[in-house]
Amino acid sequence: MHSKRLHGVHVPHRKNTAGDKPVRLPTPAVVTIPMSMHIGAPAKPVVNVGDEVKVGQLIAEAGGFVSSPIHSGVSGKVKKIEDILMSGGQFVPAIVIETDGQQTLFEGLAAPSVTNLQEFVDAVRASGVVGLGGAGFPSAVKLSVKELSSIEAVIINGAECEPYITSDTRTMIDDADLVWEGIELLQKFMQVKRVIIGIEDNKPQCISGFEKRCKDAQGVEVKALPALYPQGGEKVLIFSTIGRAVPEGKLPIDVGAIVINCTTLAAIAKYIKTGFPLVEKCVTVDGSAVKNPKNVIAPIGTPLKDIFDFCGGFKSEPKKVLYGGPMMGLAVPDLDAPVLKNTNAVLAFTEKDAILAKESSCIKCGRCVAHCPFDLSPCDIETAFRLKKPEELDVLKVNICMECGCCAYVCPANRPLVQVNKLAKVMLRNYQTEQKALEAKQKAKEEAKKEEKK
pLDDT of the chain along its 454 residues, tens only?
444 567 899 999 999 999 999 999 999 999 999 999 999 999 999 999 999 999 999 999 999 999 999 999 999 999 999 999 998 889 999 999 999 999 999 999 999 999 999 999 999 999 999 999 877 899 999 999 999 999 999 999 999 999 999 999 999 999 999 999 999 999 999 999 999 999 999 999 999 999 999 999 999 999 999 999 999 999 999 999 999 999 988 999 999 999 999 999 999 999 999 999 999 999 999 999 999 999 999 999 999 999 999 999 999 999 999 999 999 999 999 999 999 999 999 999 999 999 989 999 999 999 999 999 999 999 999 999 999 999 999 999 999 999 999 999 999 999 999 999 999 999 999 999 999 999 999 988 888 888 787 6
List CB contacts of 155: < 8 A, sequence separation 6 or more. Answer: 195, 196, 198, 237, 238, 241, 242, 257, 258, 259, 260
Measured in whole angstroms, how far is the alpha carbon of residue 350 from the centre of its chain? 25
Q: Model's pTM, two decimal places?
A: 0.94
Cis peptide before 230 (omega within 30 of 0): yes
d(CA 315, CA 331): 19
The domain spans of the chain are 110-274, 367-449
**Beta pairing, strands 30-34 & 91-99:** antiparallel
List CB contacts of 239: < 8 A, sequence separation 6 or more. Answer: 1, 6, 245
Q: What is the CATH number of domain 110-274?
A: 3.40.50.11540
